Amino acid sequence: MSTTISILGNTGRDVELRYTPQGTPVANFSIASNTVRNTAQGKQKKTDWYNVSAFGKQGETLAKYVSKGDQILIRGKLTFNPWLDREGNARVSADVVLQDFEFAGGNAAKTVQDAAEETIPAQENNQMTAAEENVIEAEIVEDSEERAEMLAAVHEMDAGDEVFAGQY
């Protein structure tokens, strides 16, 4: 049984990248997520650990840009797997198969910038084609028209109209 989960936390170790015999990249790392609860004894902090596996291009990207301590938001399928420790005590690990992720925290902007610069050849870094400029201009015009329509609809409300929860 598995369920979808979103976790915002910090990586507990550097990402380990391996390849299957078929050549598929597989990245493994751990992530820690903290929760604080109010109890009769005061605030108590609890750290939950998750083992994360990422496949394909996502795994390669994580291995390249994420290191121990980085903050990241992950989404994936959560499963619980029982195992025995060295003393024979029953334990359970929380494992996540990554579906999606986002860089978070203070280093997110730098990481995204580094990734963007790698994908654009150096001579084209600050140059935009006329077609790209036209697409961006069309999106701006489209957004402006949509905002104007929404404002017009708001101004059409009569003074007696009541706003209710859920109305936008």
User: Could you report the per-residue pLDDT of 50-73, keeping only the tens digit for each?
Assistant: 999 999 999 999 999 999 999 999
Do 20 and 65 belong to one domain? yes
Domain ranges, residue 151: 127-156
72 CB-contact burial (10 Å; exposed 0-12 / middle 13-18 / buried 19+): buried
Do 73 and 56 belong to one domain? yes
Give the model confidence (pLDDT) of 121-149 as tens digits. Answer: 433 444 445 555 554 455 454 445 555 55
Do 82 and 138 belong to one domain? no
> Mean pLDDT over residues 74-100, rounded?
92
Do 52 and 134 belong to one domain? no
Do 91 and 137 belong to one domain? no
Do 59 and 141 belong to one domain? no
Query: What proportion of the chain, given as a percentage, has pLDDT over 90?
Result: 49
CA distance 40 to 44: 10
Give the model confidence (pLDDT) of 97-124 as tens digits. Answer: 999 999 987 655 555 555 555 544 433 4
- Other beta carbons within 10 Å of 115: 13
Looking up residue 65, the CATH number of its domain turns out to be 2.40.50.140
Domain tally, the chain: 2
Nearest Cα to 31, choosing from 107, 92, 94?
Answer: 94
Do 119 and 132 belong to one domain? no
The pLDDT score that the predictor gives to residue 127 is 47
Domain annotation covers residue 149: yes
